[in-house]
Every structure is written in C-alpha cells, then in structure tokens.
Amino acid sequence: PIVLGIETSCDETGVGIVRGHTLLANTIASSMDEHARFGGVVPEVASRAHLEAMAPTVEGALAAAGLRLSDVDAVAVTAGPGLAGALLVGVAAAKAYAMGLGVPLYGVNHLAAHVAVDQLEHGPLPKPAIALLVSGGHSSLLLVPDVAQDVVSLGSTVDDAAGEAFDKVARVLGLPFPGGPYIDRAAREGSGTAVAFPRGKYDDGTLDFSFSGLKTAVARWVEAREAAGEPVSVADVAASFQEAVVDVLTRKALQACARYDVKDLLIGGGVAANSRLRVLAQERCDAAGVRLRVPRPGLCTDNGAMVAALGADLVAAGVASSSLDIPADSSLPITTVHV
C-alpha cells in the first residue's frame, strides 16, 4: 500500500510517500529562516507557514514520486507531541485528504516515527531493539518490542533535551539557531578533551540523562574566560561540550543494551545527525558486540517520510485506523505509538 505521511509538529512541513518500506518521496518546506532571528521557533509563525506550505508540499511529494493523489491508499499524520497550533494544521489536512480520498487515517506519535524511519534505509527493525531518541525536545532510551505497537520508556532526560543543550550552548558561543549542526561543524576543528566539562548522571545507575548542569558549566566557563580577558576557542568549547554529551548518550545506550540483553541499538531524532555521536556510538557498539543502526542525517531531522514509514508499519500490522475526529495532542506520551 502507498502511504502519504504528513509532519507539522515544529517548523518543518514534511510530506513523505512510501510503499511499504520503500521511500518514494520526502518533500520538506521549512519556516526556520523566519524563526532563526528570534533564536527559537515562534509557534504562531510556524502555524501560518504550515498552512501556506501544506498543499504545495503534498503536490511536490506526489510529483517527486510520480503519483497522483488517487494512488494514495492511506494517510498518516503526526498527532503529537509538538506545537499545538502547528500539529493542528497537519492533522486537519490529513483528515481532509483521508476523507476526500476515502482512505484510512493513522494518527501517529512523532517520536515513534523518529524510530520507525530507519527502516526506510536499513530494513525491518529487529525485535526487540533499544532506541536512543535524541531530538530538540526529547531525550529518551526506549525498549522497542515492536515499533508499530509497543514502546517502553527506560529512561529520559530529567531536564533539558540533548538538542536543546546543543542549541543553548550554541547561543553562548555566538553560533546561529538551531545550533546543533553549527556545533558539530565547529567541533571538527577543536579538541574534545580541551575542557573537562561535567557529565550529568554518568554513574548513577539509571538510564536517565541530565544536560542542564553541562549547559550551565559551559556558560560559566566561557563567562569566566571572557571576564579574565582570555581568548575562548569556540572550536575547543564546542568539541568538549559535544564530547560530554555523546559520551553520556552512548554510555547509557550501551548500558540499556546490556541490562535488557538486546543486541540491536537504533539512534534516532535530530541529534542522531551529529557526526561525533555516530562515530563514538559505532566504536562502542563494535566493542560491545551490538549492531548499530542510524538513519542518514536527512532522515534524522523532522520529515514526512518518518510519519509515512510508521503509517506503513501500522497498516502492515493490521492496526485499526484512527477516527476522523482525533485531536492534535501537544504532549502525547512516547508510549502512545498511534491514536
């Protein structure tokens, strides 16, 4: 079956089309240029941009796939979590397409979709798998018996999300928003061992994370150097901060694999695009005999293909489709894979 996926939880209007786990189109319009100068996504601006981009992005995806709207067999949409007004645009559009076409609607969890998307690149997810989900608003370790039906939370951040920490530290360093990709790039010229920044919850025996202490430590360190009139190497600070984050993320991910005796680790979400995280995770997985799956960077950040991929899994699993009056749920919990 051909599944059309619609994503509007943040600033990207994403429309993906898949046939099973075959990716046919992944078209994205972003309103990030309009938010960047505010140093964060402005919800009202995002909603309006989604409204304007929705129909053209669907048409663009259909054209890219060489399909017509009437070829679509099911519509999947991010029902949450995310910005309420932004979600609402995608959910309303998805309902209209599903109703107009007379095809089933699947309201899906954005976070589960960040996990499911890897299958478009690397095939069916082994059951069970451990997933490290690291994005702009979330950081969690998940036990995934079956991404279409069952996701168990093993631990999550007690304060900032990993992506949020990247974005806040980037601001301290005078880098543009969103800062993750800029820190990644700056860090390549610096040393990850230049500054020994703290690693929160490193040895606490839980599978939780904490990044706000690290963020504060970086800000204090930079302030102290500037107050003393000493130069700050953006590259060294970026690399050392990044090293602290990816050290903790990979350490806890492998602890989760060991604790639950799972040999397959998947990393998903926008921060999974980080080049150092990908390298260190591979090293540590190799050492532990764990197979690692990370989607290519373009599938890690928000897109419509991830929603279509999870929709295709729901269709294949014979899960009942969603009612046409599902709400957008800005705080949908990760354990609710579909609504």
Contact positions toward Fe ion, by CB under 5 A? 135, 302
Give 220's contacts (C-beta < 8 A, 6+ positions apart). Answer: none
Could you say whether residue 11 binds Mg ion (CB under 5 A)?
yes
Cβ proximity to Fe ion, 23 vs 272, nearer residue: 272
* Under 8 Å between Cβ of 41 and 10: yes
Q: Is 81 exposed, middle or buried (0-12, 13-18, 19+ CB in 10 A)?
A: buried
Nearest C-alpha neighbor of 274 from the set 244, 246, 253, 240: 246
Total of chain residues touching ligand ATP, rule CB under 6 A? 24
136 marked as part of a ligand binding site: yes
Give the nearer residue to Mg ion in terms of CB position, either 11 or 329: 11
Interface segment toward ligand ATP; rule CB under 6 A; list 144-152, 159-167, 222-230, 256-264: 159-167
Selection from Mg ion, Fe ion, ligand ATP, none that 200 binds (CB < 5 to 8 A by kind) is none
**Which partner, Mg ion, ligand ATP, Fe ion, none, binds residue 181 by CB below 5 to 8 Å per kind?**
ligand ATP
Tokens at 178, concatenated? 């969103």
Q: How many Å apart are CA 160 and CA 132, to the nearest integer?
A: 15
Find out whether 270 is annotated in a ligand binding site: no
Residues 300-329 that bind ligand ATP (CB under 6 A): 301-302
Q: Is 211 in the site for ligand ATP (CB under 6 A)?
A: no
Q: How far apart are CA 21 and CA 218, in angstroms?
A: 42
Query: Does 160 help bind ligand ATP (rule: CB under 6 A)?
Result: no
Partner whose binding site includes residue 119, from Fe ion, Mg ion, ligand ATP, none (CB under 5 to 8 Å by kind)? none
Name the 3-class secondary structure at 5.
strand
Annotation-wise, does 303 bind a ligand? no
Contact 92, 58 (CB under 8 A): no
Closest by Cα among 133, 141, 151 to 271: 133
* Assigned token pair, 335: 């354990």
Q: Is 264 in the site for Mg ion (CB under 5 A)?
A: no
Q: Which residues contact 314 (CB under 8 A, 6 or more apart)?
A: 76, 106, 108, 148, 321, 338
136 binds ligand ATP per the rule CB under 6 A: yes
Structure tokens at 204: 């606490």
Minimum gap (Å) between residue 18 Cβ and Mg ion: 21
SS (HEC) of 190-219? CCCCCCCCCCCCCCCCCCCECCHHHHHHHH
Nearest approach in angstroms of CB 59 to ligand ATP is 23
Using CB under 6 A as the criterion, what x/- string covers residues 64-103 for binding ligand ATP? ------------------x---------------------
Q: Of the ranges 108-116, 148-156, 202-210, 299-307, which one interacts with Mg ion (CB under 5 A)?
A: 299-307
Question: Is 137 marked as binding a ligand?
Answer: yes
Eight-class DSSP state of 163: H
Q: Alpha-carbon distance 270 to 300, whole Å?
A: 5
CA–CA separation, 105 and 47 (whole Å): 21
Task: Tell me if 268 is assigned to a ligand binding site.
Answer: no
135 assigned to a ligand binding site: yes
Q: Is 47 assigned a ligand-binding role in the annotation?
A: no
Please check whether residue 27 is in contact with residue 304, taking contact to mean a CB–CB distance below 8 angstroms. yes
Paired strand residues for 27: 15
Site string for ligand ATP, 264-303 (x = CB under 6 A): -----xxx-xx--------------------------xx-
Peptide bond into 198 cis (omega under 30): no
Interface residues with ligand ATP (CB under 6 A) are: 9-10, 82, 110, 114, 135-138, 163, 166-167, 178-181, 184, 269-271, 273-274, 301-302
Interface residues with Mg ion (CB under 5 A) are: 10-12, 302
Task: Please give the annotated binding residues for substrate, written as ranges.
Answer: 133-137, 167, 180, 184, 274
Task: Please give the annotated binding residues, written as ranges.
Answer: 110, 114, 133-137, 167, 180, 184, 274, 302
Task: Please give the annotated binding residues for Fe cation, written as ranges.
Answer: 110, 114, 302
